[in-house]
Amino acid sequence: MDKPLVTVIVAAYNAANYLEETLHTILDQDYSPLEIIVVDDGSTDETAAIAKSFGNRVRYRYQQNSGSCASPRNHGLAAARGEYVTFFDADDLMLPGKISGQVEALETHSEAVFCVGNYRNFTGKTKSADHFSTCPELSLHLSTSCDSSFVLEAHECRNILISENFTIASSPLFRTRTVVSEGGFNTDLKACEDFHLIYRTATHGKVVIVPEVLFERRLHDTNMSADSERMLRNLIASRLSLAQHETDPVLVKHLDKRAQRYRRSLQSCLINKGQFGGAFALYKDTLPPRSLSDLNHDIRQGIKLMLGHFNDGKITRRSD
């Protein structure tokens, strides 16, 4: 019996420092047939030359820079021929057996719409603990499964995702038809578009969880997650968007509560950057506080905000 084709889509922007190593880890997988599509999102470095150097082992596609990962991933999805699809970041490293293990999990569990694997972060030669070990709710399921693969019901998966986002873009292997039915990634989001798609896809059915570490996520100064303000604004936008999409009122409330937490974090971020007007404007969305922790936050940030405006005034008067 022929095995299903798997498409690996790699969105790349100025990824010349890492792309070659990343592609080798994909090509070294013990699974075939495999289709690799690199979508160059308007790079100005040697990304194109590196991708093309792999010849017909890699399909190279180019587009004008979009400013996010959503558009090039959708570009690749439109060209994908595989029954299964995964989106792999151009600086991550795929560990042996990722593809074959996830295909086996989805072939075994035909009711599941995607499969999520564990991962760890690394910087240079330093590696973190595996990510699942930092997720208490997910770890409860891992303990009862004796660290073997297990299936989460759709509702439970979404509930845990809201509390402790246990997966990122490079992790899931999806059934392509399900991702296509959701329209791919939301291009209005400039970050968190992976969480947004994963959550929406998890409304379609069960999800298989594989506890083994299947890839390594590279941390460096140019990671999009290093831009705190951008991340927080998109964390808020993605959760509020999903609250409109979600049909379960309990999860809608959970998403709204999470967005409130991110608003308070954004407020702190803006105050630390001296953007006092923007921070003050957030009070209309965060008040009233819903807990003692919220109240403490509002008092602390309110004091900082008043001191910041006062100091700005002093500086202005001195410069006059």
Domain boundaries along the sequence of the chain: 6-225, 227-319
The residue behind tokens 């989805």 is: 106
Q: Which of 49-58, 122-131, 163-172, 204-213 has the lowest mean pLDDT?
A: 122-131
Q: Which of 11-20, 224-233, 282-291 has the highest mean pLDDT?
A: 11-20
Q: Are 87 and 56 in contact (CB under 8 A)?
A: no
Provide the CATH topology of domain 6-225: Spore Coat Polysaccharide Biosynthesis Protein SpsA; Chain A (3.90.550)
Q: Which of 38-52, 103-117, 211-225, 304-318 has the lowest mean pLDDT?
A: 304-318
Strand partners, 116: 209
pLDDT at 312: 56
Q: Are 267 and 228 in contact (CB under 8 A)?
A: no
pLDDT digits (tens, 9 = 90+) for 10-36: 999 999 999 999 999 999 999 999 999
- Indicate whether 308 pLDDT > 70: no
| DSSP string for residues in 143-187 | HHTTTS-EEE-HHHHHHHHHHS----TTS-EEEHHHHHHTTSS-T
Cα–Cα dist 166/138, whole Å: 8
- Indicate whether 320 pLDDT > 60: no
pLDDT at 309: 59
In 3D, which of 282, 185, 198, 277 has the Cα closest to residue 232? 282
**Residues 263-289: b if buried by 16+ CB within 10 A, e if exposed:** bbbbbbbbbeeeebeebbebeeebeee
- Indicate whether 297 pLDDT > 60: yes
The residue behind tokens 């991702």 is: 179
